Amino acid sequence: MIDLKPYNTFGVSAKTPHLITVESKKALIEALQLHPNALILGKGSNILFTKDLQQPVIVIANKGITTDNWENDLVKVTAAAGESWDDLVQYTLAMNLCGLENLSLIPSSVGAAPIQNIGAYGVEQNQFFESCLALDCSNLTWVQFSREECQFGYRNSFFKNEGKGRFIIWEVSYVLPSKAVELNITYAPLKNYFEEHPEIQPTPKKIAELVIEIRKSKLPDPNQQGNAGSFFKNPVIKEELALQLKREFNDLPLYPASDGVKVAAGWLIEKAGFKGYFNGDAGVHDKQALVLVNKGGASGKEIANLSVQIQKKVFDQFRIRLEPEVTIL
C-alpha cells in the first residue's frame, strides 16, 4: 500500500494499493485500460482523504506551456494539466500578458482550474478560458470543450456535475490581452493600495505582487501547515434572508450575485466562534477562518468532523448552509 500523504496539500495519510504517474497521453490511456476505476489526482490541493482507498490513483504530471498569437493583441496560452497553476500565472506575467494576475499563488494544478472554476480577488479563470482538451474515460477518446460547454458557475463547472468522473482534463487554453486593459482592482486591499499610492500605476505585475503579499499574510503555506485553501464556498442566499441578517448583524459583508446575495463564509465561521479554534491538530486558521488546517498529526476524518461541526453551528446561528469547496473522500 502506498501512502498518499505527499500527494495532498492537507498532508493527511491515506493508502492506495497502486499509484501511477503519467506524463503522456499514451501513458494515461494505458493506465486507464489497466485501472478503469482509478482516482485521478493533480496536485491534491482540493481534496480531503478521510479513509484508505480501494482503487488505484493516477497522478497527472504532464508539463509544457505554449503560446500562439491571435488577432487584436490577443495571445492564446496553452498549458498542460500537470503544470502548477502559479507557474502558468508567472509565465504569462513574464510574457507581459494580462488577466491572470489576480489569481497568483492559488495552490492548484492547471487541470483542476476549470473543474473548480478557481477565482480570487474579483477574477475567475473562466473570464479568460478559451478551451480545454479532455479524455472521455467511457470510450478513451479525446474531446475539446469550449467555454460554453464547460458550463462555468461559482466554483462550479460541467466537470463537477454531468461530466464528473467521466472526463480527465489534459490541457487548458486561455486567451489573454498582450496590451494593458482595464485591470481588476475592485478587491478592497488592492483598491486601497492604489488610492494611497497615486504615484504607482496598476500593472499586472504590481497586482500579482500585491496579491502574493496578501495571500502570504493571510493564508498558511501548505508546506508548513496542511490545508486546501478555502474549505467552504461563500454561500449565495436569498435577498430576503440577507436583509433579515443585515438587520441583526450590521457588519455582515454582503456582495451582489447573479442569483441572490453572496455572504462571506469566513465572517460566518469567525462569528460562530471558530477562528483560531483547534481540536487536537485539526483546526481553523487564526488569520482566515475560511481555511481549515492540519498542524501535522490530524487525520482526514478529524478535519471532516470539524467541518461538519462548523456547518451545524453556522446554520443554527445564521440559517445558512455552508457547502464545502473541497472534495471529501
- Grid cell, residue 41, equals 489526482
DSSP H helical segments within 169-299, as ranges?
188-196, 204-218, 239-248, 265-271
Give the integer Cα–Cα distance in Å for 113 and 169.
Answer: 10
Whether residue 173 lies in the annotated active site:
no
Whether residue 325 lies in the annotated active site:
yes
Catalytic residue, from 45, 109, 230, 299: name it.
Answer: 230
Predicted structure pTM score: 0.86
- Whether 161 is covered by a domain: the verdict is yes
Pairing of the two strands 2-3 and 15-16 = antiparallel
- Grid cell, residue 195, equals 488610492
Collect all residues with Cβ–Cβ distance below 8 Å to 86 and sequence separation of at least 6: 104, 105, 106, 107
- Whether 52 is covered by a domain: the verdict is yes
Give the integer Cα–Cα distance in Å for 27 and 62.
Answer: 10
Give the integer Cα–Cα distance in Å for 149 and 267.
Answer: 34
Whether residue 230 lies in the annotated active site:
yes
220-242: string of b/e by CB count within 10 Å (b at 16+)? bebeebbbbbbbbbbbbbeeeeb
Residue at a domain's end among 145, 177, 209: 177
- CATH number, domain of 16, equals 3.30.43.10
94 and 166 both lie in a single domain: yes
107 and 73 both lie in a single domain: yes
Count of domains forming the chain: 3
- Whether 187 is covered by a domain: the verdict is no
Q: pLDDT 10s per residue in the chain (329 long)?
A: 999 999 999 999 999 999 999 999 999 999 999 999 999 998 888 899 999 999 999 999 999 999 988 778 899 999 999 999 999 999 999 999 999 999 999 988 999 999 989 998 889 999 999 999 999 999 999 999 999 999 998 888 999 888 898 999 999 999 999 877 778 888 888 888 888 888 888 889 988 999 999 888 888 888 889 999 889 999 998 888 888 888 888 888 888 777 888 889 999 999 999 999 999 999 999 999 999 999 989 999 999 999 999 999 999 999 999 999 999 99
Catalytic residue, from 84, 104, 124, 155: name it.
Answer: 155
Catalytic residue, from 101, 124, 171, 325: name it.
Answer: 325
Give the integer Cα–Cα distance in Å for 25 and 133.
Answer: 11
